[in-house]
Amino acid sequence: MTNNIAKNIDIPESTTVEFKQSLSEMDDIIVAVAAFANTDGGRIYIGVSDVGEVIGLQIGKGTIENLANKIAQHTEPKIQPRITVKKVGGKQIIIVEVKRSTTGPVLADGRPYKRVGKTSPKMGKDEHERMVLEKHKGKYYFDEQICDGAKISDINKEKLVTFIKEAKQERGLSVSAGLSVTDILRKLKLIKDGKLTNGAILLFGKDTQDFFLQSELKAIRFKGLDETKPMLDFKTIGGDAITLLKKAEDFIFDHIPMQAWIENGKLQRQEKWLFPPKAIREALANALAHRDYNSSGKVQVRIFDDRLEVWNPGLLSPPLTLEKLKSKHDSMPRNPLIAKMFFWIKYAEDVGSGTNKIIQWCKEWGLPEPTYEEAGASFVTVFHNPKTEGSQNVSEISVQKGDQKSTQKSAQKILGLVAQNKFITRAELAKEMGLSDSGVKKQLKQLQAKGVLKRIGPDKGGHWEVSADV
């Protein structure tokens, strides 16, 4: 058997592997135990040099028991790892196997540590506090806490009923829209101990910002490639979380280009937004469901010539890392009630797949992989536009030079469909024409602005009227 333990197990020192030459390095061994427990677990090989050479140990009758006691005495909560003895090349080594802690951060002599590569640095104050909150997440989820002063009369019944109907249609939610507001909220777990939760107000409140000013959303279109350039448009968006998402989407689609073209053999104009709409919606839903509502910061949408950024206050909750977001990982929303409501109406994916879906959708769209970043105290999703040259948006130029006749044909078809059925909905128009909902919305706005088309009555229950001059 070889004397090189690294070759023997086919891995070098890493995030989950540590080599120690002897038991005289007890302080470092205890730190490594705490660091592994606070990260992804790992193994400490004692009796092995830093380069993987087996040195061996003299192991007496009480050696293993003494090691276990020292680890337990100097860690809080007490860690009791699996400790085994192995012979390698005729020499004895000790293997200490540590599992990731499921009960919150582990301290070594009163200090928190984490594992980063081959090292075990001290954990920062903010990260330690996040782990403590994660330990008590059942008590500390912001959206599950009782909202002081909130009453049933603060809930928008119409929005709540609309949500129930949409959730039933999209995901089969078995809650009757005919129930009272209180009963619906109770079934959605938005009432706790007979009182409204923060989640109830954030999702269905009539005046959400009266309770939570920080729940506003800021949307900015910058000219150029960075924040030092002039702002072409700036909006502060208020309302409940679902309204924020929809209005943020509208802002984005007002400021990113759409490519339009005619394909041989197809009557309808082909359209494609710069970024995939499903990915945009998922990023916005993630920002609203994962944001830290204890922070005074706001969710932000920032649009530049070469990218779209979605910011939310709050860093990733341990043990999630930026790298883990690109592979299978646990779903760990900071506000699980909001995340669940978004899931019911198909505004978000479930079980930790959202970030992977965003990457998948961007690749299928022919775009570079989006990036996930932590900037200051915020988490950022960045969509990249590869067609930018300098400060001029090439995609925008292609739209400006698009086929105007195609646009006119789309407008004529809308007017024809409205003439046949004045109660036709935007969704039905999109289906009939093979266009996106946003594309139809844009066409309708243009026709209304020209006085060609009028909307009589509200969005629900109203109808269209084509001008007699057409």
In this structure, what CATH number is given to the domain that contains residue 453?
Answer: 1.10.10.10
pLDDT of residue 267: 61
Handedness of CA 138, 140, 141, 144 (dihedral sign): positive
| 133 part of a folded domain | no
Look at 8-12, 102-106, 235-239, 298-302 and tell me which has the smallest mean pLDDT: 8-12
| 130 part of a folded domain | no
Regarding whether 225 and 240 lie in a shared domain, the answer is: yes
| 282 part of a folded domain | yes
| 131 part of a folded domain | no
For residue 77, the one-letter residue type is: P
Query: What's the average model confidence in pLDDT over 74-87?
Result: 92
Regarding whether 240 and 200 lie in a shared domain, the answer is: no
Q: Which residues contact 329 (CB under 8 A, 6 or more apart)?
A: 320, 352, 355
Res 134 pLDDT > 80:
no
Regarding whether 221 and 202 lie in a shared domain, the answer is: no
pLDDT of residue 266: 66
Regarding whether 417 and 457 lie in a shared domain, the answer is: yes
Is 450 or 404 the better-scoring residue by pLDDT? 450
Is 138 or 275 the better-scoring residue by pLDDT? 275
| 190 part of a folded domain | yes
Report phi then psi at 18, rounded to 5. Answer: -135, 135
Helical spans, DSSP H, in 297-402:
336-344, 354-364, 394-400
| Tokens 């090349």 sit on residue | 89
Report phi then psi at 452, rounded to 5. Answer: -80, -30
Regarding whether 167 and 220 lie in a shared domain, the answer is: no
Res 372 pLDDT > 90:
yes
Regarding whether 462 and 415 lie in a shared domain, the answer is: yes
| Tokens 């809308």 sit on residue | 414
Regarding whether 229 and 363 lie in a shared domain, the answer is: yes
- CATH number of the domain bearing residue 363: 3.30.565.60
Range of the domain at 32: 5-124
What whole-number percentage of the chain has pLDDT above 90? 57
Look at 2-11, 98-107, 353-362 and tell me which has the smallest mean pLDDT: 2-11
Regarding whether 356 and 220 lie in a shared domain, the answer is: yes
Query: Two tokens at 345?
Result: 């109406």
pLDDT band at 159 (very low <50, low <70, confident <90, very high): very high
Regarding whether 448 and 366 lie in a shared domain, the answer is: no
Last residue within a domain, chosen from 184, 210, 236: 210
Contact (Cβ atoms closer than 8 angstroms) between residue 137 and residue 188: no
Contact (Cβ atoms closer than 8 angstroms) between residue 200 and residue 147: yes
Res 460 pLDDT > 60:
yes
Last residue within a domain, chosen from 91, 124, 157: 124
Regarding whether 267 and 119 lie in a shared domain, the answer is: no
What are the pLDDT digits (tens) for 23-41?
999 999 999 999 999 999 9
Regarding whether 370 and 268 lie in a shared domain, the answer is: yes
What are the pLDDT digits (tens) for 231-269?
999 999 999 999 999 999 999 999 998 877 677 766 666
Q: Nearest CA to 387 among 309, 302, 305?
A: 305
Query: Two tokens at 414?
Result: 């809308």
Give the SS3 label for residue 217. strand
Query: What's the average model confidence in pLDDT over 325-340?
Result: 84
Regarding whether 149 and 193 lie in a shared domain, the answer is: yes
- CATH number of the domain bearing residue 72: 3.30.950.30
| 322 part of a folded domain | yes
Last residue within a domain, chosen from 153, 177, 210: 210
pLDDT of residue 183: 97
Res 413 pLDDT > 90:
no
What whole-number percentage of the chain has pLDDT above 70? 87
Give the SS3 label for residue 306. coil
Strand-pairing partners, residue 388, are 393
User: How many separate domains does the chain show?
Assistant: 4
pLDDT of residue 10: 56
| 367 part of a folded domain | yes
pLDDT of residue 469: 58
Res 177 pLDDT > 80:
yes
| 98 part of a folded domain | yes
